[in-house]
Amino acid sequence: RKEVEQDPGPFNVPEGATVAFNCTYSNSASQSFFWYRQDCRKEPKLLMSVYSSGNEDGRFTAQLNRASQYISLLIRDSKLSDSATYLCVVSGGGKTSYDKVIFGPGTSLSVIP
């Protein structure tokens, strides 16, 4: 089993739709959780950190369920500019938090006019 798994995608949704991405991780000692966004042929960029209490940033909501080792990202009112690959990232649980930074394979989103 991969350490971080994501919905395989791709997701093709119309503008204005709500879309949810799921991510599971296997290391129960993991401490930090993030969603990154990666545009085609570009570098990953932090979208948001994920906290146990859940957090929201505009149209984006992230949730963490430590008991189920599950992370989610909800995008409301999708825009064309949201088209990208979304990477789930989990860190911690190793000797340091840096040798256990694990990126998921990503889920591709295409928002269609």
Are 36 and 47 a contacting pair, CB within 8 Å?
A: yes
**Is the peptide bond prior to 113 cis by the omega test (within 30 degrees of 0)?**
no
Tell whether residue 67 is a contact of another protein (CB under 8 A).
no
**Residue 111's closest CA among 41, 18, 4, 21?**
18
Tokens of 16: 């204005």
Stretch that binds another protein, among 11-19, 38-46, 63-71, 74-82 (CB under 8 A): 38-46
Tell whether residue 9 is a contact of another protein (CB under 8 A).
no
Tokens of 26: 């296997």
Tell the smallest beta-carbon distance from residue 19 to another protein (Å). Answer: 20
Among 18, 52, 65, 96, binds another protein (CB under 8 A): 96
Give the footprint of another protein on this chain (CB under 8 A).
Answer: 4, 32, 34, 41-46, 49, 87, 91-92, 96-99, 101-106
